[in-house]
Each structure stands twice: as structure tokens, then as C-alpha cells.
Amino acid sequence: MTSTAAVRRIVKPVVFLAALGPFGWLVYNAFWGDLGVNPVETITNYTGIWTLRFIVITLAITPVRWLTGFNPLILFRRMTGLFAFFYGTLHFMTYFILDHSLVFAGVWDDVVKRPYITAGFTAFVLMIPLALTSTQGWIRRLGGRKWNLLHRLIYITAIGAVLHYFWKVKLDTTFPVYYGILVGVLFAARVWQRARKASPARVPVRANPGAPGL
């Protein structure tokens, strides 16, 4: 079995189950009534932080692949991106159903008036086209260039998510700042890689220099 096939058949299902872990934790604690004094707040904060973690993990896959040369990592990008959307949907639905009793006018009022909700809502809404077009069929339909362009929305989502967290916590901004730094480093890695690729200093090496005439 090649390493890619092994990753596909063994590691991927394990990672999938691990990514469901936070959801399992929520269901387990909800079942035992163990979500603290304010369960709605606990669920919102917990699903929110896991949304952000999966966004960061998704953004990290490509730079870590460059760094390690371990190409099968790419097989996880779609899965982690969809898990970010899954936790983001749980997060938004908790707020929509439990905080606003499914009245969208109330949500929109918050979107317009509270900057941290504006940022979170923008981040979430931009994830919708990414999730919808994450299939091979959509890659084919749009073509690689357009698809890649569309999927750059993840950068705006990441910025919106960090701002949302930063503006939400108000007092102790330590963790939002850590996440901001992490996202900044991951963006910088991409810029650096692009610059490296574009650099004229990278003279292509011939496969078999000097072969003709020998």
C-alpha cells in the first residue's frame, strides 16, 4: 500500500472521528446536564472556538505540507474545512435558535449594531460558498483558477473570525491575540512561498544537464 493509500484508508477515518470529538463532548455533557450555569453560553463559546480552530488547521495544511514535504496532508484540507463549517453552523444555529428563537430580524439587528457580530456573521456567510463548492464536481465546473480564487475567501473568513473573537472577549484578549498571530504567520508563509516561486533567482535545474553531446 502506498503512503497516500494508507493515509486515505487508515488515517483519514481516524482524523474524522477525532474531529467529531468536540461534538461528542457537547452531546455527552448536554445529556448529563453538565454544561455549567449558562448552557447556551457554554455551547456558543465552545462551538465558536472549535470553528476558529478548524479554520486555523485548514489554513495550516498547505504551509505544513511545504515545510515537511508530506504531500498526503492535502487529503485532509477538505475535511478540516468542512468541519470548520460544521462547527460554525452549530455555533450560528445555537445563537439563532436559543438566543433569538429563530427570528432572523433579531439576528440582523445584532449584525448591524454589534461589530463583533458583524465580523462573525461575515466570516460565517463567506464559509457557505466554500462549503458548497468543496466537491470535485465543483472544482471541475469552475475550473482550477476560478475555484482557487473563490476559495481565497477563507482568508477573509479567518480575519473576520479573529476580529469577532477579539471584539467579543473585551477584557482578556490574550487568546484572540494568539490566534491573530497564528493566522498572521500562516498568511506570511503563503506570501513568502509566492515570492519564492516568482523569484528569478530560482533558475530551473535541467533534468540531465550536459547529456546532449556526451
Residues at the site binding ligand HEM, with contacts judged by CB under 6 A: 41, 44-45, 48-49, 51-52, 88, 91-92, 95, 107, 117, 120-121, 123-124, 157, 161, 164-165, 168-169
Cell of 18: 477525532
Least distance CB 192 / ligand HEM (angstroms): 25
Least distance CB 214 / ligand HEM (angstroms): 59
Cell of 75: 487529503
Between the CA of residue 56 and those of 92, 108, 154, 182, what are the distances in Å? 18, 27, 10, 8
Least distance CB 82 / ligand HEM (angstroms): 13
DSSP state letter for 72: G
Least distance CB 65 / ligand HEM (angstroms): 23
Which C-beta is closer to ligand HEM: that of 86 or that of 92? Answer: 92
Q: State the Cα–Cα distance between residues 79 and 153, nearest whole angstrom.
A: 17
Which C-beta is closer to ligand HEM: that of 75 or that of 125? Answer: 125
Least distance CB 110 / ligand HEM (angstroms): 6
Q: What is the CA radius of gyration of the chain?
A: 21
**Residue 200 CA from chain centroid, whole number:** 33
Residue position matching grid coordinates 496532508: 73
Cell of 132: 458548497
Which C-beta is closer to ligand HEM: that of 7 or that of 47? Answer: 47
Q: How many residues does the chain have?
A: 214
Which C-beta is closer to ligand HEM: that of 55 or that of 79? Answer: 55
Which C-beta is closer to ligand HEM: that of 36 or that of 143? Answer: 36
